[in-house]
Structure 1
């Protein structure tokens, strides 16, 4: 069966099977006592303690900044409906107590960053969270010091407002002597957020979500892993920095090329291909992994990508496609004429189509995408140009780590053999 026909069959099944988003879930009906239990559950989830009740600060930092798909899935599964209800104002009464404020902050400020990661909806609760700070409570007298890091400090540091940033830093300076040493990293986080707002007036890493032009200073800051707080926290050799595991970045890159190969087949009308019948519907983990790939295409994080966004990603292959070819590919993926965009669901279905390429053919084709000058080695500049064409949120420092991971002989470049060693050994390992 032709590639796009098989794709249509899978897409129809996928649309039926994909789980509803949190905003579409049934809202829970809860008693006051049950709401109190929910508040306790939220706070216990975020503030991990040992059997004596002492905060396990390092585990907490891993939970708060690790940006794990498994954590995101657990939060969506356990609390997704409550996040939706909180964002619609359903838990407004929680503001009457400090612990209620803390629990509400977790639902509207923290959890959207997990559930809606890599989309503009990540910040959908920030304005509501800001209203929590104005509640007439003496936080330090009622909440634990580490809880005051969340209310009011984290709320204020998420605001693109200089006055709020300064207020949050002042509060933290009062708070820090009561915190365990491991949490003193928040001084850097809060002070750097303040500095960024002073320099830019907004957070550069949010610009692409809001369609804003990034300033020269903002672009410079985006290249500094020490202030890229939107990236996972990495602790090594007694120091902490923000960035992705280079091995995971390589695998994410391979998944992006998986999608590009299929899109190119649609654009060039490559004829019949084999197709692997899916054994089961997408699991939550597969959906999360697919979102990681999708974000390279969905540049503005609005839940879909258009012709311009797709053109940008296709440029990373080093081949030139006309607008007509790209539109043709989008039409066949969406199964409509003049498709304006490709949704996440359509993209997910696309990744299930088996291109039936041999491993050797895939490796050689992808290596050539990077090795632009045909030298037989991928230089740092070639790697940077290709990766940042795919995903401009990847920093130069992260790309340097990707090259180091591959560069077995330490010559500063990646050979075909070194590149091959980084690829998953089986096609199924990189298809979602």
Structure 2
């Protein structure tokens, strides 16, 4: 079991590939449980409050409360029990100026993720403002979609089953369409390891500080090809896969 803040950050930002952050995968969930399950429980129980005093360890707490909980207790009510704690830490980081001082965009993104997960419209609106300042357009677009859901339903219907909430007829229709779109998207195209967007073309790349090869969509590739240590390793095309099937 890992016990240090740097182990949490190293695992999430160096060992993991970006697509693992947001896709449901039982094997990945098992890895998070094995390596960080006990530590995440300790954080939920308030036993790591001393981590709140420094931005590095506080970000590790945010990852455990806002991300690891969702992997360890996926489809269970406990998956969301760390949200209030994570949101409090995010607000603390903003007030302390930690996001202004954080040079890495991806870390700023996860600092703000607890706001994105909130079911309060005011928090989502604040999240959009902060993400426009500190994150990237793809994450801002996700925040906009979340805002639309909260405005329409007052909550995220995707959580209803896990939380034991009864879905309205309108929510059931949304969930049916949502699941259908997700299955179609996964069957039709690959996803970018940077922003998780799907599309027919991705470039295999590597940049400094990134130990593994990753696939980037054209939009992300345009930005990453200018990064230090950039290497190009080929192009993945969806129509090529279709031709092989035929």
2:107 aligned residue: 147
What is the CA distance between 1:140 and its match in structure 2?
2.7
1:114 aligns with 2:71: yes
1:236 aligned residue: 189
1:45 aligns with 2:42: no
* Contact 1:98 1:142 survives alignment (8 Å): no
2:170 aligned residue: 217
2:88 aligned residue: 131
Which of the pair has more CA radius of gyration? 1
* Contact 2:115 2:123 survives alignment (8 Å): yes
State the alpha-carbon separation in 2 of the partners of residues 193 and 133 from structure 1. Answer: 18
> TM-score, normalising length from structure 2?
0.68
Which one of 118, 130, 138 corresponds to residue 171 of structure 1? Answer: 130
Change (3 A) 1:86 1:228: farther
1:69 aligns with 2:33: no
User: Any idea what the Cα deviations from partners look like across 1:264-305, whole Å, max 9, x if unmatched?
Assistant: xxxxxxxxxxxxxxxxxxxxxxxxxxxxxxxxxxxxxxxxxx
User: Which protein has the bigger strand share?
Assistant: 2
* Contact 2:75 2:161 survives alignment (8 Å): no
Structure 2's unaligned 5+ residue stretches are 199-246
User: Any idea what the Cα deviations from partners look like across 1:60-109, whole Å, max 9, x if unmatched?
Assistant: 1x210222211111111111110110000011121212222210011111
2:146 aligned residue: 193
Root-mean-square deviation over aligned CA pairs = 2.9
- After TM superposition, list the pairs within 5 Å mapping 1:335-374 onto structure 2: none
- Greater relative contact order: 1 or 2 (C-alpha under 8 angstroms, separation 6 or more)? 1
User: Any idea what the Cα deviations from partners look like across 1:15-54, whole Å, max 9, x if unmatched?
Assistant: xxxxxxxxxxxxx9xxxxx96xx111111111137xxxxx
- After TM superposition, list the pairs within 5 Å mapping 1:77-92 onto structure 2: 77-92=34-49
State the alpha-carbon separation in 2 of the partners of residues 225 and 203 from structure 1. Answer: 12
- Matched residue count: 190
Structure 1's unaligned 5+ residue stretches are 1-27, 29-33, 50-55, 242-432
What is the CA distance between 1:143 and its match in structure 2?
5.0
User: Which protein has the bigger helix share?
Assistant: 2
* Contact 2:58 2:89 survives alignment (8 Å): yes
- After TM superposition, list the pairs within 5 Å mapping 1:312-391 onto structure 2: none
> TM-score, normalising length from structure 1?
0.40
